[in-house]
């Protein structure tokens, strides 16, 4: 079998790769003992690059085109290989075809919720999802940093690492931006643009270029969504009195269209409830009542041993009455009186004197 492979290789002088898959990034061209005939034809198609590796070192890189492999087209490899025997014998080199197309519709998303502090709802858990597009921008760096000696390198071998990088940088971005969860939906474009700028240098370290990244959805916890729905419902209902009037009008319209049906009974009940609510609402003024009138402070003066004592407030007068310092016949005056009067004759004080027990009888 090995002899047949070697014989077969002697007749093959066209080196090319036609990719019939959608996920192959690097493909190593198979040759017996890695021998390539002098003058062989190399076909590199659009969105491809051919990388020659000699003894573990990247020698020459060919963009798309048709090439005849000789010393003119392989300057670096010719120097490395030496090419004895007049440069007309087969030489050894590994040829890697690198797919340079855009790999589209790659998914990224959080495996576990991101815990962030929201200014309105406090600590919340968020999940984020999106897509991105990536392509190989530097074939030699991609082979050195990622592929190594893998002869068949597919997209799935690198997407996990890229996805983890995106999620990590996205988590940091959300924490730095401190955007309220109610505003996240309006900031998807901004987040996508900023995140692309953050991670592009890190992708370039692998020889990759991220040409597009989209934040498609940031989902909220169920309890937060329910709270937002309730808040939205209250805003839609608005004034309850107007809402009941609107419902009553719809009910009357339905009853007029079907006066004898079961709907009329239901409409009647609905109108009854609506009218009851309207009556309750009508009994409650739509504007707050006026503030209670603050009574003016009354100042009193009493006559004691020919002297005027005061002014005294009503509480002070009542306290003196209870302590029997002011007696029923004590002369007193306040604003509104033309002359001094006995304390017991004032309407606001007469009840106080009646509540004070009479003096104890003398033995």
What b-and-e string marks burial along 110-122, b requiring 16 or more CB atoms within 10 Å of the CB? beeebebebeebe
96, 29 Cβ separation under 8 angstroms: yes
Strand-pair partners of 301? 333
> Which burial class, exposed, middle or buried, applies to 107 when counting CB atoms under 10 A from its CB (0-12, 13-18, 19+)?
exposed
Q: Which of 44-48, 54-58, 73-77 has the highest mean pLDDT?
A: 44-48
Whether pLDDT at 140 is above 90: yes
Range of weakest confidence among 3-7, 36-40, 330-334: 3-7
pLDDT tens, residue by residue, 62-87: 999 999 887 667 767 766 665 554 44
What's the sign of the alpha-carbon dihedral 170, 171, 176, 180?
positive
Give the residue, 92 or 345, on which the prediction is more confident. Answer: 345
- pTM of the prediction? 0.57
For residues 201-216, give the mean pLDDT.
Answer: 94
For residues 278-295, give the mean pLDDT.
Answer: 52
For residues 27-55, give the mean pLDDT.
Answer: 86
Q: Which long-range contacts (CB under 8 A, 24 or more apart) does 316-322 make?
A: 317/343, 317/349, 318/349, 318/352, 321/349, 321/352, 321/353, 321/356, 322/352, 322/356
Query: With bands split at pLDDT 50, 70 and 90, how would you rate the model's confidence at 287?
Result: low
Range of weakest confidence among 136-150, 162-176, 304-318: 304-318
Range of weakest confidence among 134-143, 174-183, 255-264, 300-309: 255-264
205, 145 Cβ separation under 8 angstroms: yes
Q: What are phi and psi of 139, to 5 degrees?
A: -60, -45
Whether pLDDT at 161 is above 80: yes
Whether pLDDT at 356 is above 80: no
pLDDT tens, residue by residue, 92-106: 788 999 999 999 999
For residues 257-261, give the mean pLDDT.
Answer: 62
Give the residue, 282 or 59, on which the prediction is more confident. Answer: 59
Residue whose tokens read 């969860």: 181
For residues 246-266, give the mean pLDDT.
Answer: 62
Which residues touch 255 (CB under 8 Å, ≥6 apart)? 263, 264, 267, 268, 271
Per-residue confidence (pLDDT) for residue 1, from 0 to 100: 45
pLDDT over 90 for what percent of the chain? 32
Strand order in the sheet with 41-44: 14-15, 41-44, 65-68
Query: With bands split at pLDDT 50, 70 and 90, how would you rate the model's confidence at 166?
Result: very high
DSSP sequence for 183-241? GGGGGHHHHHHHHHHHHHHHHHTTTEEEEEEEEEEEEPPHHHHHHHHHHHHHHHH--HH
Give the residue, 5 or 298, on which the prediction is more confident. Answer: 298
Output the furthest CA–CA distance in the chain (Å, rounded).
155
pLDDT tens, residue by residue, 263-284: 455 545 555 555 555 555 554 4
Whether pLDDT at 50 is above 50: yes
Give the residue, 195 or 266, on which the prediction is more confident. Answer: 195
């Amino acid at each position: 079998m090995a002899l047949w492979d070697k014989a077969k290789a002697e007749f093959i002088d066209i080196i090319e790769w036609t990719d019939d898959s959608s996920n192959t990034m690097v493909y190593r061209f198979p040759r017996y003992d890695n021998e390539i005939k002098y003058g062989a034809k190399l076909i590199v198609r659009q969105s491809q690059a051919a990388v020659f590796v000699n003894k573990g070192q990247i020698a020459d890189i060919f963009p798309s085109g048709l090439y005849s492999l000789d010393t003119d087209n392989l300057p670096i490899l010719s120097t490395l290989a030496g090419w004895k025997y007049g440069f007309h014998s087969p030489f050894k080199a590994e040829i890697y075809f690198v797919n340079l197309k855009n790999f589209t519709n790659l998914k990224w998303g959080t495996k576990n919720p991101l815990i962030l502090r929201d200014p309105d709802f406090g600590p919340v858990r968020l999940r984020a999802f999106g897509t991105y597009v990536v392509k190989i921008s530097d074939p030699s760096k991609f082979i050195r940093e990622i592929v190594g000696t893998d002869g068949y390198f597919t997209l799935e071998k690198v997407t996990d690492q890229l996805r983890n990088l995106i999620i990590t940088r996205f988590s940091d971005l959300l924490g730095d931006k401190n955007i309220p969860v109610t505003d996240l939906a309006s900031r998807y474009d901004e987040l996508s643009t900023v995140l692309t700028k953050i991670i592009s240098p890190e992708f370039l370290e692998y020889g990759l270029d991220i040409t597009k990244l989209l934040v498609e959805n940031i989902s909220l916890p169920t309890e937060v969504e329910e709270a937002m729905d309730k808040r939205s419902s209250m805003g839609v209902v608005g004034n309850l009195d107007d809402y009941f009037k609107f419902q009553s009008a719809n009910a009357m319209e339905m009853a007029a269209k079907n006066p004898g049906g079961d709907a009329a009974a239901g409409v009647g009940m609905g109108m009854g409830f609506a009218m009851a609510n309207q009556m309750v609402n009508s009994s409650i003024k739509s504007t707050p009542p006026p503030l209670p009138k603050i009574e003016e402070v009354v100042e009193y003066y009493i006559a004691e041993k020919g002297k005027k004592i005061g002014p005294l407030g009503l509480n002070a007068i009542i306290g003196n009455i209870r302590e029997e310092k002011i007696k029923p016949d004590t002369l007193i005056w306040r604003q509104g009186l033309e002359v001094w009067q006995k304390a017991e004759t004032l309407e606001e004080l007469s009840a106080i004197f009646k509540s004070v027990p009479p003096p104890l009888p003398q033995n």
